[in-house]
Amino acid sequence: MNVIVTGAAQGIGFEICRQMALRGASVLLNDIDEIMAQHAAARIRSEGGNCQILAGDASDVEFIKRLVQTAVTRFGSLDILVANAGITTFGDFFEYQPDSLQKLLDLNIRGNFFLTQQAALQMRSQGQGGRILLMSSVTGQQSHAYLAAYGMTKAALQMLAKSLVTELSPYGITINCVAPGATLTERTLDDPDYTSTWSRITPLKKPATVADIAAAVLFLTSPEAGHITGQTLVVDGGWTSVSPSPY
Catalytic machinery residues: 137, 150, 154
Please give the Cα distance from 38 to 239 (Å, whole number): 35
Query: Which alpha helices (H) appear in the chain, and where do they start and end?
Result: 11-22, 34-46, 61-75, 98-104, 112-126, 148-163, 165-168, 194-201, 210-220, 239-242
The single-letter DSSP state of residue 49 is -
User: What is the C-alpha R_g of the chain?
Assistant: 17
Alpha carbon dihedral 67, 68, 74, 78, in 10-degree steps, equals 140
Would you call 218 helix, strand, or coil by DSSP?
Answer: helix
